[in-house]
A and B are shown apart, each in its own frame.
Chain A
Amino acid sequence: GAGVSQSPSNKVTEKGKDVELRCDPISGHTALYWYRQSLGQGLEFLIYFQGNSAPDKSGLPSDRFSAERTGGSVSTLTIQRTQQEDSAVYLCASSFPWGGLTGELFFGEGSRLTVL
């Protein structure tokens, strides 16, 4: 498709389970970003990829969170042993290099995670 695609759009899981969230960026975009959007908290940066490498992982909140990107395209955000505080909308964005300078980040519609 033409836009950033995220799946699943909605995920309900039980506390302690692992979840995987997928992001398919716009073709040709080398940069990929994960953000977490919690009610009243705005967007919290999680991790940034340039190609397959992650120069900035500083936003990952704990070692339960990890992300990878393969083939310079699809990225997966994995949350292990989910906790209720992980409930949020996880947004993925992609851009050409230097997207953060031009502001030309293209966002997906997000994956809403609910941990019971």
Chain B
Amino acid sequence: AQSVTQLGSHVSVSEGALVLLRCNYSSSVPPYLFWYVQYPNQGLQLLLKYTTGATLVKGINGFEAEFKKSETSFHLTKPSAHMSDAAEYFCAVSDSSRGSQGNLIFGKGTKLSVKP
């Protein structure tokens, strides 16, 4: 069965600093991996995804993530944090155990704070 672990429930960075949010997954099949972002009092929106092909994927707002099979990781990065990046970030893996019906398994989330 698939699972997702996000290291650090809360990460704080200064504006302009590197953002690194960690995600490790467990999957017995090649995974499809996703990052979602949730701004306060809003629903989740897809930030970026890895399905096949290039292992470095770019998303919205300058975020990118790299799929590393050997490390079973899919960490999210952004070179320079902006105040507007403050939000909660969720890593997710597609749940192929349910016959690829389309469910996602989410991590517990990492809340990103950006200090001026």
Given contacts A42-B108, A42-B109, A43-B90, contact A97 B102 (CB under 8 A): yes
Q: Mark A37-51, 1 if CB is under 8 A from B, else 0.
A: 000111101001010
A100 CB-CB contact with B under 8 Å: yes
Q: How many residues of A contact B (CB 8 A)?
A: 31
**Interchain Cβ contacts within 8 Å, total number:** 80
Q: What's the dominant secondary structure at chain B's contact region?
A: loop
Query: In the assembled complex, which residues on chain B have CB atoms less than 8 Å from the CB atom of A107?
Result: 43-45
Taking a contact as CB atoms under 8 Å apart, the answer to whether A103 and B44 are in contact is: no
Give the interface of B toward A (CB within 8 A).
Answer: 9, 32, 34, 41-46, 49, 51, 90, 92, 94-95, 98-109
Taking a contact as CB atoms under 8 Å apart, the answer to whether A103 and B103 are in contact is: no
Given contacts A40-B108, A42-B90, A45-B105, contact A101 B43 (CB under 8 A): no
CB distance from B107 to the nearest CB of A (A): 6
